[in-house]
């Protein structure tokens, strides 16, 4: 009985570790925008659509990622008219820093099993 229970716990731990790796990869997939223009949105969306019922916390974290991506797009569109006055450059600089820093931080947090968050993200999904 004990060996059956301990093997179940070990398999659950391995599964959770694999889930955390997929969560971290989902956060890091946002950086695909550096290579392709839309890959950073499409890859988390596809992972969310196909794996949200199988991976623990993927539904919540993928929604956070997609809300962050949509929010940053809205903020970029709002900064474009401000480029005329020179203020838009500051906004675009801040957005580009957020694009780089928060996916990496949240990938580390997700891999460690900690809570993830994206500041300034509107709750759209």
Tens of pLDDT along the chain (125 residues) come to 455 455 544 444 555 778 889 899 999 999 888 888 777 888 898 989 998 888 888 899 999 999 999 999 999 999 999 999 888 899 999 999 999 999 999 999 999 888 999 988 899 88
* Residue 15, domain member (yes or no): no
* Residue 16, domain member (yes or no): no
**Prediction pTM value:** 0.82
* Residue 2, domain member (yes or no): no
* Residue 65, domain member (yes or no): yes
* Residue 25, domain member (yes or no): no
The Cα-based distances of 76 to 26, 27, 41, 55, 93 in angstroms read 22, 20, 15, 32, 10
Distance in angstroms (rounded) separating the CA atoms of residues 113 and 105: 12
Compute how many other C-beta atoms are within 10 angstroms of the C-beta atom of residue 12.
10
Provide the domain count of the chain.
1
* Residue 95, domain member (yes or no): yes
**Domain membership of residue 106 as a residue range:** 41-125
* Residue 86, domain member (yes or no): yes
């Amino acid at each position: 009985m004990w060996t059956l229970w301990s093997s179940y716990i070990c398999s659950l731990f391995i599964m959770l570790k694999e889930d955390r790796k997929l969560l971290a990869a989902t956060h890091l997939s946002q950086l695909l925008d550096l290579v392709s223009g839309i890959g950073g949105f499409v890859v988390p969306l596809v992972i969310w659509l196909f794996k949200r019922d199988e991976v623990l916390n993927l539904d919540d974290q993928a929604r956070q990622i997609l809300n962050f991506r949509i929010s940053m797009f809205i903020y970029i569109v709002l900064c474009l008219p401000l480029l005329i006055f020179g203020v838009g450059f500051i906004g675009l600089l801040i957005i580009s820093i957020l694009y780089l820093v928060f996916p990496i931080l949240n990938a580390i947090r997700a891999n460690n099993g900690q809570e993830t968050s994206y500041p300034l993200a509107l709750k759209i999904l």
